[in-house]
Amino acid sequence: MAELKLQHLDKIYDNKVQAVYDFNMDVADGELIVLVGPSGCGKSTTLRMVAGLEDISAGHLLLDGRDITQTPAKDRDMAMVFQNYALYGHMTIYENMAFSLTLRKEDPNVIHKKVLAAAEILGLTSQLNKKPAQLSGGQRQRVAMGRSIVRNPKVFLFDEPLSNLDAKLRGATRREILLLHKRLKATMLYVTHDQTEALTLADRIVCMSMGHVQQIGTPLELYDKPANTFVAGFIGLPPMNFYNGMGFEDGKLKGNGFEVELSDEEKDTLKDYYGKEIILGVRPEDVSADGNLQIRVTNNENLGMNTLVHGYIGDNSHIVAKLRGWEEYHNGDTAAMKFGRKHFFDKDTTNAIRKEEK
């Protein structure tokens, strides 16, 4: 069992920089939580407070109901996997994985069993006598995970474990971490700046900006119902198109030199905004060819199964459309397109405008 409660956590560094504000979350036993956000938003600081590597300035941290806010890192029963692996170059893979248990003076027979079991899970059995330098980056990252697994910690903490790997290896290692999570059924907190990692790995995502939690939810919730323009712009690739200053009148949204038709349901969602301006968001994959929105194409990127069309609508509002299949557009073309699913945001708060759920 490993249930974590992060209650109103603040972090203020000695130089008075506040890195984390009022972080609140209950992590269920066996859950894989991904903290995502741009560089400097406070992800590592939050993880390090959980690990006990940074003091908690205010708030409480509970593990299975026990307050561990002041508990030293070594007594928290958590294991952290870092970006740079931190393996001992002069030791074999076996010795690296056994190291923490050897330090604890565990029975060598028990250590042997645990190392072999972890090596088996990670596909490292045939590598145990090698030195780290003889292994690929992906294998080294697995050794780093193996070192955590042998300790059988209550909570696994990962800080950008894949960012030193090339794209192909990142994908493969990501899937291994997912399998590992399924197999160990362990509680995991995972930090990344990569929204793809967050979407593909997480049971729930915590999206952060400038020390503040912006939204906590399943990957689908963050993608489909982003709480505000920050989350809407951060989750999804290419990012959502945003149009500021869209006036809601005559049952339409009127922008700078273009208009957008609304369905009855969309009008109903916006009923409190009649005569006001809002921010419209449309994901590139929700723009489709064949409509009456005139796009002045600037360039075309073929990705194989998709085509990204870049251009302008109205008075130079930028648009990216992600179309299915291989399409050929050229600089200077005019293309008629249409917006599908639309997201609406309050222009003052930047929060999503939604119909009250019944």
Question: In angstroms, what is the minimal distance from the CB of 36 to Mg ion?
Answer: 11
Compare residues 45 and 317 and give the one whose CB is closer to ligand ADP: 45
Question: In angstroms, what is the minimal distance from the CB of 208 to ligand ADP?
Answer: 7
Which span (43-51, 109-117, 266-274, 283-291) binds Mg ion, by CB under 5 A? 43-51
CA–CA separation, 36 and 56 (whole Å): 20
Classified as helix, coil or strand, 151 is coil
Compare residues 46 and 127 and give the one whose CB is closer to ligand ADP: 46
Which has the closest alpha carbon to 51: 125, 154, 175?
Answer: 154
* Chain centre to alpha carbon of residue 18: 22
DSSP 288-302: EEEEEEEEEEEEEEE
CA–CA separation, 298 and 320 (whole Å): 10
Binding partner at 17 among Mg ion, ligand ADP, none, C-beta below 5 to 8 Å by kind = ligand ADP
- For Mg ion, the binding residue among 2, 31, 44, 335 (CB under 5 A) is 44
DSSP 219-277: HHHHHHS-SBHHHHHHSSSSPPEEEEEEEEETTEEE-SS-EEE--HHHHHHTGGGTTSE
Binding partner at 232 among Mg ion, ligand ADP, none, C-beta below 5 to 8 Å by kind = none
β-pair partners for 63: 4, 66
Question: In angstroms, what is the minimal distance from the CB of 232 to ligand ADP?
Answer: 19
Question: In angstroms, what is the minimal distance from the CB of 193 to ligand ADP?
Answer: 7
Which residues are at the interface with ligand ADP (CB under 6 A)? 13, 15, 17, 19, 37, 39-45
Binding partner at 336 among Mg ion, ligand ADP, none, C-beta below 5 to 8 Å by kind = none
Question: Which residue number places its CB atom closest to Mg ion?
Answer: 44
Check: CB of residue 302 under 8 Å from CB of residue 337.
no
Question: In angstroms, what is the minimal distance from the CB of 279 to Mg ion?
Answer: 29
Buried/exposed code over 120-151 (b: 16+ C-beta within 10 A; e: otherwise):
ebbebeebbeebbeebeebbbbbbbbbbbbbb
Compare residues 43 and 343 and give the one whose CB is closer to ligand ADP: 43
Compare residues 13 and 326 and give the one whose CB is closer to ligand ADP: 13
Question: In angstroms, what is the minimal distance from the CB of 183 to Mg ion?
Answer: 27
What number of chain residues touch Mg ion (CB under 5 A)? 1
> Which amino acid makes up residue 74?
K
Question: In angstroms, what is the minimal distance from the CB of 43 to Mg ion?
Answer: 5
Compare residues 11 and 174 and give the one whose CB is closer to ligand ADP: 11
Binding partner at 316 among ligand ADP, Mg ion, none, C-beta below 5 to 8 Å by kind = none
Side by side, the strands of the sheet bearing 317-324 are 317-324, 306-313, 287-302, 334-339
Compare residues 38 and 340 and give the one whose CB is closer to Mg ion: 38
Q: Does 45 contact Mg ion by CB under 5 A?
A: no
| Phi–psi pair at 19, nearest 5 degrees | -95, -25
How far CA 154 is from CA of 33, 183, 206, 223, in Å, comes to: 14, 14, 20, 30
List residues binding Mg ion (CB under 5 A). Answer: 44
